């Protein structure tokens, strides 16, 4: 066991604080990573606050991790010391089920090991990336392409893949009319990726503050969701809508914006249930679906796609002492568009 500095929660309500956690010894298939950057995802906040159910404290969150390989186990072949690598939401899975065999470890039928608050292979509770170092199985570590700015790449490991996967699955590309609902960390990656895939992208966001940014990220249109008339005009006009909103919204009104055979994919994960009237789906053979992150092969594919297309998140680099203030700004939707913690500022 190695003791490392971290920043985490001791309960659901108090501010996060400096603490120390234990990392396992580097096993034959493990990689020791010196963490440099950790993105702040809204899921970190839902989790610590117990909004998705009870969790184990103390808990260190963070599943958008970028760092350098500091050591490798005796049987490691995928990674070498000094390489810039990333870790996302899953840090292990059964590798044997039908989903894992297809590379869809995010849908492991036996339940994968989440990077934080998961039950690890040795029975301990996993602790995430707001820390100095971590030890991860080499098969759950991805390579960050050299051309990507490593200080900005961390949010790709969750926000990037969580939008890339459904956009690819539902065929976002030339001729497809795609709407992204909510333009926070996930949403802004959705705009950039859908535009790079060749889709016609509309951003649906509250107010007009983010209009210029949405157009700069590649959207062809921006509609203020508080403008009832403008929303009404969008009826039946999309093939795919991806909802990234962290709070409950009136899904029924968004379903009516889909054309016949259109799909609305939920990735935003508020704890409250959605109300879905049958007749928001039936008359136009609409699909309501969900999607989570992406498997390891698809994460690597997404990173390579972002490198090829020069796609990076918009980030604000913060020091460890700024984490609690940053969480508040995430809750206030006052983040443009992802906070990244410089973990070298741990004291
Ligand atoms: P975020 O940066 O806070 O963005 C959420 C956006 O939702 C905000 O920027 C805002 O967009 C909109 N919003 C927030 N409160 C709202 C309200 N009361 N009414 C209407 N719109 C509101 O969060 P994020 O990190 O992108 O995460 C978004 C959600 O996805 C979270 O629930 C998170 O847990 C979930 N998530 C899911 C997965 C998955 O695998 N499915 C992965 C990662 C995250 P506007 O200001 O543009 O309106
Ligand atoms: Zn996340
Ligand atoms: Zn599996």
Give the domain ranges of the chain. Answer: 2-157+313-345, 160-290
pLDDT digits (tens, 9 = 90+) for 119-131: 998 889 999 999 9
Q: Is the pLDDT of residue 203 over 90?
A: yes
State in Å: Cα 27 to ligand 1 middle.
37
CB contact at 8 A, 82 and 68: yes
The reply to whether 2-157+313-345 and 160-290 are identical in fold is no
Write down the CATH superfamily of domain 2-157+313-345: Medium-chain alcohol dehydrogenases, catalytic domain (3.90.180.10)
pLDDT at 51: 97
State in Å: Cα 295 to ligand 2 middle.
14
The single residue listed with the structure tokens 């594919």 is 301
Confidence of residue 347 (pLDDT cuts 50, 70, 90): confident
For ligand 1, is residue 99 a contact (CB within 6 Å)?
no
Q: Residue 178: is the preceding peptide bond cis (ω within 30°)?
A: no
Ligand 1 site-directed mutation target among 106, 117, 182, most atoms within 8 Å of CB:
182
Count how many residues are written for the chain. 347
State in Å: Cα 131 to ligand 1 middle.
24
Q: Rounded to 5 degrees, what angle do the CA atoms 217, 148, 30 make?
A: 130
Look at the pTM and tell me if it is higher than 0.95: yes
Q: What count of Cα atoms within 13 Å lies in the side-chain half-sphere of residue 27?
A: 11
State in Å: Cα 284 to ligand 3 middle.
35
Tokens of 44: 């970190």
CATH no. for 160-290 = 3.40.50.720
Q: For residues 322-335, give the mean pLDDT.
A: 97
CB contact at 8 A, 245 and 183: no
Mean pLDDT of the chain: 97
Q: Is the pLDDT of residue 234 over 80?
A: yes
Confidence of residue 26 (pLDDT cuts 50, 70, 90): very high
pLDDT digits (tens, 9 = 90+) for 102-155: 999 999 999 999 999 999 988 899 999 999 999 999 999 999 999 999 999 999
* DSSP three-state, residue 82: coil
pLDDT digits (tens, 9 = 90+) for 282-307: 999 999 999 999 999 999 999 999 99
Exposed e or buried b for every residue in 290-300, given b needs 16+ CB within 10 A?
A: ebebbbbebbb
- Look at ligand 1, atom 35, and give the residue with the nearest C-alpha: 268
For ligand 1, is residue 333 a contact (CB within 6 Å)?
yes
């Amino acid at each position: 066991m190695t003791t490392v500095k971290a920043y985490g929660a001791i309960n659901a309500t108090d501010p996060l604080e400096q603490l120390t956690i234990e990392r396992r010894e580097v096993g034959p298939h493990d990689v020791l990573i010196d963490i440099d950057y950790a993105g702040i995802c809204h899921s970190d906040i839902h989790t610590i606050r117990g909004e998705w159910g009870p969790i184990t404290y103390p808990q260190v969150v963070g599943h958008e991790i970028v760092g350098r390989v500091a050591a490798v186990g005796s049987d490691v072949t995928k990674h070498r010391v000094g390489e810039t690598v990333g870790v996302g939401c899953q840090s292990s899975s059964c590798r044997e089920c039908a989903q894992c065999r297809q590379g869809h470890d995010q849908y492991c039928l036996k339940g994968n090991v989440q990077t934080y608050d998961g039950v690890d292979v040795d029975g301990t509770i996993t602790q995430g990336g707001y820390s100095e170092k971590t030890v991860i199985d080499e098969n759950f570590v991805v390579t960050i392409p050299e051309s990507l700015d490593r200080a900005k790449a961390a949010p790709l490991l969750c926000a990037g893949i969580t939008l890339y996967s459904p956009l690819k699955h539902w065929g976002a590309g030339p001729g497809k009319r795609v709407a992204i609902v909510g333009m926070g960390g996930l949403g802004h990656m959705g705009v950039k990726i859908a535009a790079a895939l060749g889709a016609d992208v509309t951003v649906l966001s509250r107010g007009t503050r983010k209009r210029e940014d949405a157009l700069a990220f590649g959207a062809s249109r921006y509609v203020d969701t508080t403008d009832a008339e403008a929303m009404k005009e969008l009826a039946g006009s999309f093939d795919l809508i991806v909802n990234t909103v962290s709070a409950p919204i009136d899904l029924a009104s968004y379903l009516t914006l889909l054309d016949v055979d259109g799909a609305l994919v939920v990735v935003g994960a508020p704890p409250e249930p959605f109300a879905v009237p049958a007749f928001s789906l039936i008359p136009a053979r609409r699909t309501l679906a969900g999607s989570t992150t992406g498997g390891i092969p698809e994460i690597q594919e997404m990173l390579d796609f972002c490198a090829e297309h020069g796609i990076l998140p918009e980030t604000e680099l913060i020091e460890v002492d700024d984490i609690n203030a940053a969480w508040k700004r995430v809750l206030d939707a006052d983040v443009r568009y992802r906070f990244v913690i410089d973990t070298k500022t741990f004291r």
